[in-house]
């Protein structure tokens, strides 16, 4: 198993985003030097990873001459290719149309750029973000740098692969069913899905009947994730949510933590379940009160989720003509088309499914009135090999494999609550295996404090070691 990374003694070194910004502010390196280092690193690793959708090198070089002020001033990053960046097309990982350059920054990019980051590329994703693996029928799969024979996770895979390989210290992702947390687990990263409406979001996602998607970042350190969330809240506060604030270290309060190794009738693999209980033992040693409990989600919630998720695919297929004369639905992959077809057949069940999904927020609030945090594995089994979730396969084959692997993450998309995947465990094969911690709505500060504590107590594996 050959790992792929670009960590070296250049202007980026192996610093996280906060560290890079501090080095630029101190004059140890310039933004231009850091951007050039990131460009060289992307060009080194991407031929094997397939993580880049589109390069914006010239634009990045111009911005680096006078970087915008902000906590991440001059820090190179990548933005997932399903949000708008002015002057750059947004292709959504599909071949079904030819995108025109966006006229203006979307709401997320507008906020993110105000932190001072410099985008050097847009990252590849699964078609419209529907799959748990970014395996493009024409361009090929996005591979994890930990083992390029395996996938890099869900639709934020391109961003995660580049961060894990050291090409950039932090990258944008969004999460509608686990697409920040799953690639964080696969690639040994910190991935936090914020509470619903915590972070600025493009209109494309805000218009969903149930807003499953939250935007955030993939990082190699808890402090980067905490700094991003602090700045996102400062730039676009939501008065209806409990403030995150400036979290810079562990919680002092001992927490009551529930542990679940099954979800929606599906159990984690024996190895992953054992790693989850191993994490629970660490929490107990740290003084937290830990209790193994059944999952709070009722049986059948996965079917309701797919019923609603398939509606989004149906809307994509039916409204595709809005893209203009280049739209060609025959170029959509089998997962998108299969979901759309399933949605048509499941239409009579949709109102009941939406009603039950909306009621899950009450169930979740009741659960977290008893437990501060829930611990589960992020994904149910070890990272699949490339081809396992190939979207050119039969739809029933893909959806069966997909729902078995990602059984744990959709819960917080349904409820709107925050959850974070931390790279706390490794499989017998040496692959990262993320552990996921969920909390009540608006309780990101609790998750960040616990994440700092575990980062100090356990440490995170580094690909370059």
Domain hosting 338: range is 17-457
User: What is the number of other CB atoms lying within 10 angstroms of the CB of residue 422?
Assistant: 28
Sign of CA dihedral 129, 130, 131, 137: negative
The secondary element (H helix, E strand) that includes residue 415 is helix 410-415
Q: What is the DSSP string of 195-209?
A: PTTSS---HHHHTSS
Reported as a single tens digit per residue, the pLDDT across 151-185 is: 999 999 999 999 999 999 999 999 999 999 999 99
**pLDDT (0 to 100) of residue 265:** 85
Closest CA to 414 of 329, 314, 305, 341: 305
Distance, CA of 432 to CA of 427 (rounded, Å) = 7
Whether 330 sits among the annotated catalytic residues: the reply is no
Instruction: Indicate whether 374 belongs to any domain.
Output: yes
The encoded tokens of residue 162 equal 């580049």
Whether 80 sits among the annotated catalytic residues: the reply is yes
Q: Answer yes or no: are the C-beta atoms of 5 and 465 closer than 8 Å.
A: no
Closest CA to 331 of 372, 375, 390, 392: 392
Residue 209 reports pLDDT greater than 80: no
Give the total number of structural domains in the chain: 1
Distance, CA of 169 to CA of 162 (rounded, Å) = 8
Instruction: Indicate whether 465 belongs to any domain.
Output: no
Residue among 126, 131, 159, 179 flagged as catalytic: 179
**pLDDT (0 to 100) of residue 270:** 98
Q: Which residue has the higher pLDDT, 265 or 427?
A: 427
The encoded tokens of residue 17 equal 């985003």
Reported as a single tens digit per residue, the pLDDT across 377-412 is: 999 999 999 999 999 999 999 999 999 999 999 999
Long-range CB contacts (within 8 A, 24+) of 318-324: 320/96, 320/97, 323/96, 323/97, 323/99, 324/97
**pLDDT (0 to 100) of residue 307:** 95
Reported as a single tens digit per residue, the pLDDT across 305-357 is: 999 999 999 998 998 877 889 999 999 999 999 999 999 999 999 999 999 99
Instruction: Indicate whether 320 belongs to any domain.
Output: yes
pLDDT band of residue 361 (cuts 50, 70, 90) is very high
Q: Which residue has the higher pLDDT, 144 or 204?
A: 144
Instruction: Indicate whether 4 belongs to any domain.
Output: no
Query: Once rounded to an integer, what is the mean pLDDT over residues 92-118?
Result: 97
Residue among 80, 123, 159, 193 flagged as catalytic: 80
Q: What's the CATH number where 213 sits?
A: 3.90.1300.10
Residue 208 reports pLDDT greater than 80: no
DSSP three-state, residue 108: helix
Reported as a single tens digit per residue, the pLDDT across 110-119 is: 999 999 999 9
Q: What is the DSSP string of 354-408?
A: HHHHHHHHHHHHHHHHH-SEEEEESSSSSPPBTTTT-TTS-HHHHHHHHHHHTSS
Q: Answer yes or no: are the C-beta atoms of 113 and 67 closer than 8 Å.
A: no
Residue 203 reports pLDDT greater than 90: no
Residue 15 reports pLDDT greater than 90: yes
Instruction: Indicate whether 7 belongs to any domain.
Output: no
**pLDDT (0 to 100) of residue 49:** 98
Longest dimension (CA), the chain: 62
**pLDDT (0 to 100) of residue 353:** 94
Distance, CA of 340 to CA of 316 (rounded, Å) = 8
Q: To 10 degrees, what angle do helices 31-49 and 157-164 make?
A: 110
Closest CA to 35 of 117, 124, 136, 97: 117
Residue 1 reports pLDDT greater than 80: no
Reported as a single tens digit per residue, the pLDDT across 289-306 is: 999 999 888 888 999 999
Instruction: Indicate whether 179 belongs to any domain.
Output: yes
**pLDDT (0 to 100) of residue 377:** 98
Mean pLDDT of the chain: 96
Residue 207 reports pLDDT greater than 90: no
Whether 331 sits among the annotated catalytic residues: the reply is no
Closest CA to 380 of 186, 159, 91: 186
Instruction: Indicate whether 9 belongs to any domain.
Output: no
Instruction: Indicate whether 297 belongs to any domain.
Output: yes
Closest CA to 407 of 287, 256, 295: 295
Reported as a single tens digit per residue, the pLDDT across 28-73 is: 999 999 999 999 999 999 999 999 999 999 999 999 999 999 999 9
Q: Answer yes or no: are the C-beta atoms of 94 and 331 closer than 8 Å.
A: yes
Distance, CA of 402 to CA of 198 (rounded, Å) = 28
Residue among 131, 155, 214, 421 flagged as catalytic: 155
Rounded percentage of the chain residues whose pLDDT exceeds 70: 100
**pLDDT (0 to 100) of residue 264:** 84
């Amino acid at each position: 198993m050959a790992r792929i990374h670009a960590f070296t003694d250049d202007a980026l070194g192996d610093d996280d985003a906060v560290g890079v910004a501090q080095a630029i502010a101190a004059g140890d390196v310039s933004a231009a030097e850091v951007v050039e280092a990131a460009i060289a690193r992307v060009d080194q690793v991407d031929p094997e990873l397939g993580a880049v959708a589109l390069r914006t090198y010239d634009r990045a070089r111009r911005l680096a001459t006078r970087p915008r002020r902000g906590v991440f001033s001059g820090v190179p990053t990548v933005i997932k290719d399903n949000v708008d960046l002015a002057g750059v097309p947004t292709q959504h990982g599909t071949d079904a149309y030819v995108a025109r350059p966006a006229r203006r920054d979307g709401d997320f990019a507008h906020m993110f750029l105000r932190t001072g980051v410099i985008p050097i590329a847009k990252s590849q994703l699964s078609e419209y973000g529907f799959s748990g693996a970014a395996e493009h029928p024409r361009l090929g799969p996005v591979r994890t740098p930990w083992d390029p024979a395996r996938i890099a996770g869900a639709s934020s895979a391109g961003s995660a692969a580049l961060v894990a390989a050291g090409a950039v210290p932090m990258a944008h992702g969004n999460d509608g069913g686990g697409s920040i947390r799953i690639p964080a687990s696969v690639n040994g990263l910190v991935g936090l899905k914020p509470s619903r409406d915590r972070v600025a979001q493009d209109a494309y996602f805000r218009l969903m009947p149930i807003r499953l998607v939250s935007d955030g970042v993939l990082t190699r350190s808890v402090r980067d994730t905490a700094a991003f969330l602090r700045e996102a809240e400062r730039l676009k506060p939501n008065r209806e949510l409990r403030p995150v604030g400036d979290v810079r270290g562990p919680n002092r309060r001992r927490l009551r933590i529930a542990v679940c190794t099954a979800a929606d009738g599906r159990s984690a693999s024996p190895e992953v379940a054992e790693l989850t209980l191993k994490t629970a033992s660490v929490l107990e040693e740290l003084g937290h009160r830990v209790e193994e409990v059944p999952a709070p989600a009722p049986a059948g919630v996965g079917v309701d989720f797919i019923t609603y998720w398939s509606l989004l695919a149906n809307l994509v297929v039916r409204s595709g003509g809005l893209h203009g004369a280049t739209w060609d639905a025959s170029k959509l992959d089998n997962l998108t088309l299969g979901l759309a077809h399933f949605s048509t057949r499941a239409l009579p069940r949709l109102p009941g499914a939406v009603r039950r999904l909306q009621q899950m927020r009450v169930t979740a609030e009741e659960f977290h009135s008893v437990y501060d945090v829930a611990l589960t594995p992020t994904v149910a089994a070890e990272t699949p090999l490339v081809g396992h979730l190939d979207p050119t396969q039969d739809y029933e084959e893909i959806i069966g494999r997909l729902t078995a692997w990602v059984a744990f993450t959709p819960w917080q998309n349904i409820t709107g609550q925050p959850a974070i995947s931390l790279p706390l465990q490794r499989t017998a094969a040496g692959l990262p295996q993320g552990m996921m911690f969920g909390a009540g709505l608006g309780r990101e500060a609790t998750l960040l404090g616990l994440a700092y504590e575990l980062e100090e107590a356990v440490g995170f594996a580094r690909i370059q070691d």
